Amino acid sequence: MNAIPFDNSYARLPGSMHVAVAPTPVSAPRLIKVNEPLARELGINPALLTAEVAVGNAIPEGASPLAQAYAGHQFGNFVPQLGDGRAILLGEVVDVTGKRRDIQLKGSGRTPFSRGGDGRAALGPVLREYLVSEAMNALGIPTTRALMAATTGERVYRDAVLPGAVLTRVAASHIRVGTFQFFAVRQDFEALKLLVDHVSGRHYPHLKGAGNPALALLDAVMDAQAALVARWVQVGFIHGVMNTDNCSISGETIDYGPCAFMDAYDPGTVFSSIDTYGRYAYGNQAPIAQWNMARLAETLLAFIDKDREEAIRIATERIEGFPAIYTKYWLAGFRKKLGLVSEEDGDLELIQAMLDSLQMARADFTVTFRSLSNGEAPDALKDWLPAWRARLARDPQTAEERRALMQAANPVYIPRNHLVEETIGAAVERQDYRPFEVMLCVLMTPYVEQAGAERYAAPPAEVDGAYRTFCGT
């Protein structure tokens, strides 16, 4: 294992889809963290993952660095050209399970897509993405991963002067709804067709031979997004910036900018300082995913049917089917969280009544579900518990089986905001990375109680309604 086994399929696609560009070297790179288990999963010798590689000062053999073109709707407004303004795709590797994965540097300098930006990332957002994306993976939720984090030795200028850093991100691909939009708005049907084929072969190989490849792809992406958002909702995750350029075609969670986990249950919860109207509030994430899927469908119309009216009719019907697909995943997930293996018509109402009780009591989402799993009777649910117990009596599991099912569906540890902030603060203000290491370690086994880790399971002392996250710029 003397070189990273790159095989760069995106670089082989036409030049209209990307621009070759190298990272901009920095003065004093220092490694913060290498994710060795992930390196091994990728078939990469961790010894190759040096500070120089992590910041882009050294380009590993076989890489073909490029910035990808994409467009996107940001908070509902269409921007015809966004693209990798501060990220550079080094290339792809086929991992030990045969899955193709992108390796990308984020914060590695300017590209032709940078517009007014500096192409850089600050240390805080890099650590946030590392912690939260790895926590999501440990929770079993599809996500981009963090392979390395390193500081650059240089400053970045935001509201304050901050230490610069680079994150090495691994993804099934970085192809987004916005990638399709980039070519659709330019009426570049040749590129769109290549993209459909590339994405289908890469993420949805079971679609091979489908009669209508574009429609089959739309169905597959809708299914993946519905499943993903249901998983978010079941751990209290709020993405915060579900723009179409942050909506992955593979169905992974991508772009950990203003994301956060909810403490007290409230579907109106918004954390992002720039989300003034609550477009990306916790409870609005499924309708927004559906909206994003409608934007994807629009880019595919020419391939869905030669007759435009007919294409619109077919696509509309598909998009209208999204809530039913989402509800299927939502129900399946919440049944597990409540320890049910059988299905009954009234389950949706039972679950909703539980969530309403949580909201009334402003009870902590994660703690309450875990308490239920441990056989405790949370006070916030006392009026609801009899209905649940009556339902459990009709479910065919033993108490032990149910407890195991519920404990595997209800985490003890999520990356709570106040702890993420504390951890980032220690690193940024005091160059103390121990809290980061400890928190990361706790979050790696989120479903198992760990002795001494009690503070990572506890909600913040005061319900912090004013908590705000900022875009990871």
Choose between 114 and 450: whose C-beta lies nearer to ligand AMP: 114
Interface with Mg ion in residues 252-281 (CB under 5 A) = 255
Residue 255 binds ligand AMP (CB under 6 A): yes
Catalytic residue (one of 84, 95, 245, 263): 245
H-helix segments, 362-430: 365-373, 385-392, 399-407, 417-430
Choose between 295 and 337: whose C-beta lies nearer to Mg ion: 295
| Stretch in the footprint of ligand AMP (CB under 6 A) among 110-118, 332-340, 380-388, 431-439 | 110-118
- How many residues bind Mg ion (CB under 5 A)? The answer is 2
Choose between 181 and 246: whose C-beta lies nearer to Mg ion: 246
Residue 64 binds ligand AMP (CB under 6 A): no
Q: Which residue has the tokens 């009899």?
A: 386
Give least dist CB 9 to Mg ion, A. Answer: 22
State the helix-helix crossing angle for 322-337 and 308-320, rounded to 10 degrees.
20
Say if CB 411 and CB 254 are below 8 A apart: no
Residue 133 binds Mg ion (CB under 5 A): no
| Stretch in the footprint of Mg ion (CB under 5 A) among 239-247, 298-306, 417-425, 428-436 | 239-247
Choose between 252 and 255: whose C-beta lies nearer to Mg ion: 255
Q: Any idea what the Cα angle at residue 146 is, between residues 142 and 152, rounded to 5°? A: 155
73-86 b/e (C-beta count within 10 Å ≥ 16 → b): bbeeeebebbbbbb
Each residue 118-137 as x (binds ligand AMP by CB under 6 A) or -, in order, gives xxx-----------------
The two beta strands, 100-106 and 72-74, are unpaired
219 interface partner picked from ligand AMP, Mg ion, none, CB below 5 to 8 A per type: none
Residue 86 binds ligand AMP (CB under 6 A): yes
Give least dist CB 340 to ligand AMP, A. Answer: 38
Type of residue at 459: P
| Stretch in the footprint of ligand AMP (CB under 6 A) among 10-18, 113-121, 125-133, 185-193 | 113-121
Interface with ligand AMP in residues 256-275 (CB under 6 A) = 257
φ, ψ of residue 57 in degrees (nearest 5): -70, -35
Please select the residue that binds Mg ion; options are 181, 246, 366, 423, rule is CB under 5 A: 246
Could you tell me the two tokens for 327? 């509800």
If one counts every other C-beta atom within 10 angstroms of the C-beta of residue 410, the result is 25
| Stretch in the footprint of ligand AMP (CB under 6 A) among 24-32, 38-46, 77-85, 217-225 | 77-85
Could you tell me the two tokens for 54? 């992590």
Measured CA to CA in angstroms, residue 64 lies from 18, 21, 252 at distances of 11, 9, 23
Interface with ligand AMP in residues 227-246 (CB under 6 A) = 245-246
φ, ψ of residue 34 in degrees (nearest 5): -120, 130
Each residue 193-232 as x (binds Mg ion by CB under 5 A) or -, in order, gives ----------------------------------------
Q: Reply yes or no on whether 245 is catalytic.
A: yes
Residue 154 binds ligand AMP (CB under 6 A): no
367-402 b/e (C-beta count within 10 Å ≥ 16 → b): bbbbbbbeeeebebbeebeeebeebeeebeeeeeeb
| Stretch in the footprint of ligand AMP (CB under 6 A) among 34-42, 78-86, 221-229, 379-387 | 78-86
Four-CA torsion 379, 382, 384, 387, nearest 10 degrees: 130
How far apart CA 82 and CA 178 sit, in angstroms, is: 9
Give least dist CB 81 to ligand AMP, A. Answer: 8
How far apart CA 223 and CA 227 sit, in angstroms, is: 6
Give least dist CB 5 to Mg ion, A. Answer: 28
**Which residues lie near Mg ion (CB under 5 A)?**
246, 255
**Which residues lie near ligand AMP (CB under 6 A)?**
82-86, 113-114, 117-120, 245-246, 255, 257, 471-473
Catalytic residues: 245
